[in-house]
Amino acid sequence: MTMMITMTNETLLIACMASPFVLAALTVLFHGMPVVRDTLNLLAPFVSLAALVMLADAPVTLQLTEIVPGAGIAFEPEPVGLIFAGLVCLLWPVSMLYSLAYLYQNRVPGMTSFLVYYNLAIGCALAVAFAGNLLTLFIFYEVLTLCTYPLVTHGKSREALSAGRIYLGILVGSSTVLLLAALVWIYHAAGTLDFVSGGILDGHLEDAQVKWLLLLVVFGASKAAVMPLHCWLPRAMVAPVPVSALLHAVAVVKAGVFTIVKVILYIFGVDLLAGAGAGEWLVYIASFTIIAASIIALRQSSLKKLLAYSTVSQLSYILLGAALLKPAALLGAVLHLLAHGFGKITLFFAAGAIQTASGKTRLDELGGIGRTMPWTMGLFTVGSLVIIGLPPLAGFSSKWFLLEGSVAVGGYLPAAVLVAGSVLSAAYLVPVIYRAFFTQAAPAPVARNEAPAAMLIAMLLPALMCAVLFFAVDSIAGFIAGAPGFAAGNAGDAP
Amino acid sequence: MNDALLLQLPVLLVVLPLLGAALGLLVRDDRLVWRMVLVVSVAAFVFSVALFVRTGEGLVLEYAIGGWAPPWGIAYKVAQINALMVLMLSTVFLGGVVYARRSFDKELCGRRLGPVYSALLICQSGFFGVAMTDDLFNIFVFLEMASIAGYALVASARAPRALTAAYRYLLMGTTGAALFLLGIGYLYLVTGTLNLSDMAPRLQPLLGSPAVLAALGFIGVGLLLKAALFPLHLWLPNAYAHAPSAIAAVLSGTSTKVALYVLIRLLFEVFDAASFPAALPDIMLVLAPAAIVAGSGLAFFQHQVKRMMAYSSVAQIGYIALGIGLATQAGVAAGLIHVFNHAIIKVSLFMALGCIAYRAGGCSLSDLAGLSKRMPWTAAAIVAGVVSLVGIPLTSGFVSKWYLVSAVLEMNLWLLAFVILAGSLLSVAYGWRLVEAAYFRQSEAGEAGEAPPAMLLTTWALIAVNFFVGVNPSWLTRACLDIAETLLR
């Protein structure tokens, strides 16, 4: 009976991770039959979602191959990974709906190759989420970069090509030089790369070495867009909107943040980092990124670039929460991973809808757009409120926990940065909303020119999720706090 | 395979290609010659797999040529290291032979192919001999046999520049051989033996003596010249760029690797470099990073893609030399792993370039324009090769890089670790020029359609081996770690 159950759980895990890859293969196969191809792309994401729901937090491990002695490709879901996987699996079907609408409406050439790489990227993100050791995580982290490169350069313009160069240069450069060095170092120090509750490095490194190693990881995982390694992200906005929305607001960037959080929780262990005082400089770097990226966002003239800098800033909220090394802050960090994901994808979808319906991408063109596209701009407002962190939406919950954690630390800086970041995000988002609803571009009569229904539905769902997350925050917080790494943090916190 | 037959395999591996080479000169029908060469290569591959499997179980085969007992007669000895080399060589040669038929038809049309195939077989026989013989002078003989065949093969291309390239290759190769022979002479003078197993214990008390140091110097420079370690690489770019595609592919996977293999064996089996502080490994530790940086840097500025890949080889040889220069078990194992992996990666890349040359008639960056449309499978092969050179996970290049960085960090040489890792960035820089040319540059010119299936399939077969090693490397890494342990014992 037990055997049966493990078999089923393994099958579910495989089904969840493999369906994007299978879908990519089928997309190639049905290249010549768009109807079949598109139907498959709309339906297959639900396979992953269903498998994930059935899997929930059932214990399962999957060992595939050994690459170096004692470490190979292995998967083992745990609460933080399941949260990331849940985010991806929930947004994947929505994004597919949106992507197809976007691709057809904007007559984007090369649909098949777009869908193939899009699905491959999703598969890699899920593999990152479920990775059972750091080597597996690293492998799919790297492959994820390669799968998204063709999406960034999909337009094949000169601008896309140079954005692609920067994309590869920074992402592959930092991960192969810094992150891989960190991996080998960890492997040498600890003799393993497994994710273990409480970390694997305790007693193997000196305090100064812990600081250096954390430095290698944080700058190595430059998908997290810590300054100054953030500049690939705004440049990558040259990609079609669905790519910017799902990959560069959710899957890819979150894979970077997720890597850092996982390493902090399960490789270092919260107690080791707190003992070595290694989290401190990460607090400073994250704080700097939050403020600096927000200020740069204020100065943007293109809506997508503004959202990109906002992403850079919000990602560092998650890092800040992780760097504080307190249970509440860690909880806030993981919650913010969800909240920002749902909120930011809504914003990007709205930006894409505006572009599709009216061809407008610059901020100064958006005067009165709220009257021609009330639904789109309404949902844009919801997304903005999530980012700013107002109730009754998910951004409030996550920022609440982050604040609680920073108060627990006792310093003024983190709390001040969190508040200032929110104020700044209001400063760059509210003018967009104001201009859309309360100014008029031209004295022409206002005609309704709403985005296609498919796009509106795709926007509505994540916006709804933000509200759901706010009201269900207790049960989700309980689920996350069940992660073994948090217990270690609690122990250190006890008076 | 029963043991009686197994015992004959080492000598068969050398003799069969030699016999084939003689036949190749007699038979006038090119197609028939190719079939015979194919049969010989398949047999060699099967034999080498058998040897690799059996030596992996700890078996050591010894064969006394003509029944003359060692150390007086020439002995072949096949342990795991020899079997690994033979496996690598036979894989490359088999691939090369399958690939060569259509490629030769196009590139060497109008030329009688019998002698070319004969030279290929002589080269094969020579390399097998180097890999298996336990006699130092015999190593020299076989190495020269293979090298001279190699000069002829490079010169067989129709372009006049191939002649000058081959001539330069010959001059530098022969210089290397002469130095190597001089070193062998010194060793023979002081030990009175040529058998390697016999020589090692006799040399032990003499290790610090000037004659032995001189021998090490001559042998080191001679072999590094043949291995094309920067700055002794000058013969390599032109030889690879102007040789026929199939020959460039085969040579890129064999000639430099065999020289490095001989160096590994002599350094650690004979000179005991792991415990005796010889200067050569340290010199290699200085030259290797220079090779990595200079090779990759020069590769970036090449317009001729075959030259670019040749310079990339210079860089990759640097990685191997780095592992050897560490003179630790982990380092030598990493070097051996990369000998195998780089052979597979670079041969597949040269084969893909040959496919392009087959259709486009040339192989410059502009010939790659629009490749993703005209020859999607070849373009994908290029991407696979470049990604492996960079060392992205799931390719064999990643396995090499991991073990190399591990070996370096084990000695706490952080600077070298960053050179290795930054070197992979440099390979992104030049490799991505190919990818961008193939996928982003448009061109109306050029014949549509892939190269003949035999050529494309061989290329992809090697890529499959590459990914197989990347996903499931333990058979290779374990063998290399065992070998390194035996060598450094």
DSSP character string of A9-75: HHHHHHHHHHHHHHHHHHHHHTTT-HHHHHHHHHHHHHHHHHHHHHHTT----EEEEEEETTEEEEE
Q: Give the residue ranges of chain A where pLDDT is below 70.
A: 1-7, 441-447, 485-495
Nearest to B405 among A139, A156, A180 (CB): A180
Q: Is B472 on the interface with A (CB under 8 A)?
A: yes
Give per-residue pLDDT as tens, B389-437: 998 989 999 999 999 999 999 888 888 888 898 888 899 889 898 988 8
Which chain B residues are Cβ-neighbours of A153 within 8 angstroms? 440
Nearest to B399 among A67, A169, A185 (CB): A67
Inter-chain residue contact B440 with A184, CB threshold 8 Å? no
Nearest CA in chain A to B420: A177
Nearest to A176 among B406, B410, B421 (CB): B421
Q: For residue B159, what pLDDT is reported?
A: 83
Inter-chain residue contact A188 with B410, CB threshold 8 Å? yes
Instruction: Kindly report the pTM of this predicted structure.
Output: 0.90
The one-letter amino acid at A79: P
Q: For residue A2, what pLDDT is reported?
A: 47
Q: Is A208 on the interface with B (CB under 8 A)?
A: no
Nearest to B432 among A66, A138, A168 (CB): A168
Q: Is B222 on the interface with A (CB under 8 A)?
A: no
Which chain A residues are Cβ-neighbours of B390 within 8 angstroms? 172, 176
Confidence band for B193, pLDDT divided at 50, 70 and 90: confident
Nearest to B425 among A176, A181, A187 (CB): A176
Which helix (H) or strand (E) is A305 found in, with range?
helix A303-324
Nearest CA in chain B to A191: B406
Inter-chain residue contact A180 with B421, CB threshold 8 Å? yes
> Which one of A176, A178, A209 makes the best mutation probe of the B interface by having the most chain B beta carbons within 10 Å?
A176
Give per-residue pLDDT as tens, B65-97: 888 887 788 888 888 899 999 999 999 999 999
Inter-chain residue contact A184 with B409, CB threshold 8 Å? yes
Nearest to A176 among B391, B473, B477 (CB): B391
> Which one of B296, B386, B402, B439 makes the best mutation probe of the A interface by having the most chain A beta carbons within 10 Å?
B402
Mean pLDDT of B426-449: 82
> Which one of A184, A185, A232, A259 makes the best mutation probe of the B interface by having the most chain B beta carbons within 10 Å?
A184
Q: Is A204 on the interface with B (CB under 8 A)?
A: no
Q: Is A212 on the interface with B (CB under 8 A)?
A: no
Nearest CA in chain A to B403: A68
- Distance to chain B for A356, nearest Cα, Å: 26
List, as ranges, residues 127-146 from A with C-beta within 8 Å of B.
Answer: 138-139, 142-143, 146
For residue B125, is pLDDT > 90?
yes
Which chain B residues are Cβ-neighbours of A142 within 8 angstroms? 392-393
Q: For residue A441, what pLDDT is reported?
A: 62
Inter-chain residue contact B401 with A139, CB threshold 8 Å? no
Q: Which two tokens stand for residue B24?
A: 């190749």
Mean pLDDT, chain B, rounded, equals 89
Inter-chain residue contact A139 with B393, CB threshold 8 Å? yes
Inter-chain residue contact B417 with A146, CB threshold 8 Å? no
Give the number of A-B residue pairs with CB atoms closer than 8 Å: 72
Q: Is A206 on the interface with B (CB under 8 A)?
A: no
Q: Is A188 on the interface with B (CB under 8 A)?
A: yes
**Residue of B52, B56, B39, B38 lying closest to B9 (CA atoms):** B52
Inter-chain residue contact A187 with B399, CB threshold 8 Å? no
Comparison of pLDDT for B174 and B372, the residue scoring more: B174
Q: Is B416 on the interface with A (CB under 8 A)?
A: no
ipTM (interface predicted TM)? 0.88
- Quickly tell me which residue has 């967009």 as its tokens: A432
